[in-house]
């Protein structure tokens, strides 16, 4: 999916919602435990209930890797269950020396070797260009680089001075030498608020993956005030606020209700910005 195709997808759906599939056995509805693969069943029902309201799904790979071989199998099957016209993100936060990153890229992008072909993978930039460029060798695949995150410890490094700028600003500036806005996005946490204005000064045309709306307290209106660009430029992720809206047999219905609330807000935001 190209940048233009993603924008057109947003316009069709009137939504820039990404649903995070952070699925855990101890949080899914107990009636699903009777299934051979409870998490896969949970994911399928969530996807079926929300696929017309969102433009992306983002499984966090840690929630699958923790279950060993069975969990990895669930990740593969979840990837393949996501409709082909919906942007799929492996939230893996990988990044290592070049030959290792090459294998990570093959893991998430090469269906012949791993059974998976995600559209994008999240990557940590700390080890520099040679840890990121192997992911960029795949045509029509995306790197989503961690830039300014929503966790409590983000300031330990990301806000530290690096010359005449902060470290996250240096990441944004230097990484644009590795790829264009047609192949690279950035993770910017929703709780960063007005900092989106600083991000947009350095990356005006890039898509931003924005976690933290909902359970983490990020404000959708504030994010859009500072973060929208001429092609929307935002993928707003909500995980717990949608997928765990109910712990009962109506979990998929309640997930849809929460996704619909966000989609309706997003539609109005897009209209107000003359993007529809």
* Residues known to be catalytic: 93
232: left (phi over 0), alpha (psi -120 to 50) or beta: left
Listed in sequence order, the DSSP H helices in the chain are 3-13, 38-50, 62-65, 68-81, 98-109, 111-114, 129-132, 167-175, 195-202, 220-227, 240-243, 251-272
Closest CA to 251 of 3, 29, 17: 29
**What are the C-alpha distances in Å from 263 to residues 35, 146, 179?**
31, 25, 30
Q: Please tell me what DSSP assigns to residue 247.
A: S
| Cα three-residue angle 83-84-90, rounded to 5 degrees | 85
Q: Of the candidates 50, 187, 66, 72, which has an alpha carbon nearest to the alpha carbon of residue 120?
A: 187
CA dihedral 166, 168, 174, 180 (to 10 degrees): -140
């Amino acid at each position: 999916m190209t940048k233009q195709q993603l924008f057109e997808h947003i316009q069709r759906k009137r939504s820039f919602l990404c649903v995070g599939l952070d699925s855990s056995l101890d949080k899914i509805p107990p009636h699903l435990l009777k299934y051979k693969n409870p998490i896969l069943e949970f994911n399928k029902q969530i996807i079926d209930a929300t696929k017309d309201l969102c433009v992306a799904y983002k499984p966090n790979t840690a929630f699958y890797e923790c279950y060993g071989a069975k969990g990895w199998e669930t990740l593969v099957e979840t990837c393949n269950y996501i409709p082909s016209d919906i942007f799929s993100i492996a939230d893996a936060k990988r990044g290592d020396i070049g030959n290792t990153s090459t294998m990570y890229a093959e893991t998430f992008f090469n269906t012949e070797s791993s059974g998976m072909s995600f559209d994008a993978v999240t990557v940590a930039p700390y080890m520099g260009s040679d840890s990121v460029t192997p992911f960029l060798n795949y045509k029509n695949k995306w790197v989503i680089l961690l830039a300014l995150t929503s966790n409590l410890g983000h300031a330990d490094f990301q806000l530290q001075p690096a010359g005449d700028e902060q470290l996250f600003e240096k990441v944004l500036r230097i990484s644009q030498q590795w790829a264009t806005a047609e192949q690279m996005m950035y993770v910017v946490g929703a709780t960063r608020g007005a900092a989106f204005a600083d991000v947009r000064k350095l990356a005006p045309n890039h898509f931003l993956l924005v976690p933290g709306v909902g359970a983490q307290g990020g404000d959708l209106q504030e994010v859009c005030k500072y973060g929208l660009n001429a092609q929307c430029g935002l993928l707003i992720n909500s995980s717990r606020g949608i997928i765990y809206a109910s712990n009962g047999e109506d979990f998929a219905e309640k997930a849809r209700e929460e996704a619909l609330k966000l989609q309706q807000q997003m539609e109005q935001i897009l209209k107000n910005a003359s993007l529809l």
